Amino acid sequence: MIRFEQQRNFLKSDFLEFKKIKTDKNKGLPQPPSVKAYDSNAKIIALPPVTTDVLDQPNIYNCIKQRRSTRFYANEAISLEELSYLLWATQGITGTTKNGLTLRTVPCSGATHTFETYLFIKCVDGISAGIYRYLPVEHKLLYLFELDEMENQIDAITLEQPFVPNFAKRAAVLFAWSTIPYRSEWKYDVSTHKKILIDIGHVSQNLYLASESVDAGACAIGIYDQELIDSILGLDGTEEFVLFLSAVGRKKFKD
């Protein structure tokens, strides 16, 4: 159908077209930084080291088999050790390339890793409620600000949820992944954008499986108010904007 044509074409491989393009990388323009800068005088929170001690369900087969989107959460905190593990599982750095790009716990086209992880923390032991950003190089949290009426704000951001209304505000933590597309556009030009969508799927799935392994549950959220969340997080909506969300909390109903 004609009205789907453009969107369908976006899903296809354009590698042969891409090969004809002189990218910013080919032009010799500088490679953009692989992580976002921050003020080193800001409040930084150390995260506990990631160990297997945190695992309630260490068997990957069971985690894959049991994974479901969880939208009912117990009124219980998750521990800082668990949060540390979930951040590592989704964006943790496990190596570097010879060009200085980061290699992480998730695959990513050309190791361009365009994501930043913002957290709406509501209920994590030992850490005050507020908005934070993950610092993957340091494996630390950057405290950004306190958000008034966080539950109402999360409700407004996540719009009318079709399955369980207003579920996201009851989660212990809301992950919000932004993308900085130029990290990949520099190298992949117009074929970047399909890759970014594929890349975020790996991140979200790791969060699902890692949550399952600590007896918590996650639910991906693609229905959200773009302008509202970008403005709350202070993102310009062009060079950086939110791409995907996921709520995480202790499960209310056990399997």
Q: Which residues bind ligand FMN (CB under 6 A)?
A: 68-69, 71, 161, 163, 219-223
**Could you give the angle at the alpha carbon of 142 between the alpha carbons of 137 and 148, nearest 5°?**
155
Comparison of 131 and 200: residue with beta carbon closer to ligand FMN: 200
Q: How far is the CB of 165 from ligand FMN (least distance, A)?
A: 10
Min. distance of Cβ 29 from ligand FMN in angstroms?
A: 33
Distance, in Å, from the CA atom of 67 to the CA atom of 217, rounded to the nearest integer, reads 8
Amino acid at 248: V
Exposure of 219 in the CB half-sphere (CA atoms within 13 A): 24
Per the listing, tokens 């969300």 go with 245
Closest approach of Cβ 66 to ligand FMN, in Å? 10
148 versus 160: smaller Cβ distance to ligand FMN: 160
Under the phi-then-psi rule, with left for phi > 0, alpha for psi from -120 to 50, and beta for the rest, what region is 132? Answer: beta
The residue (of 124 and 221) whose beta carbon lies closer to ligand FMN is 221
Q: Report in angstroms how near the CB of residue 51 gets to ligand FMN at its nearest.
A: 28
Residue nearest to ligand FMN (CB): 222
In the bound state with ligand FMN, the residue whose beta carbon lies nearer, of 23 and 205, is: 205
**At residue 111, what are phi and psi to the nearest 5 degrees?**
55, 30
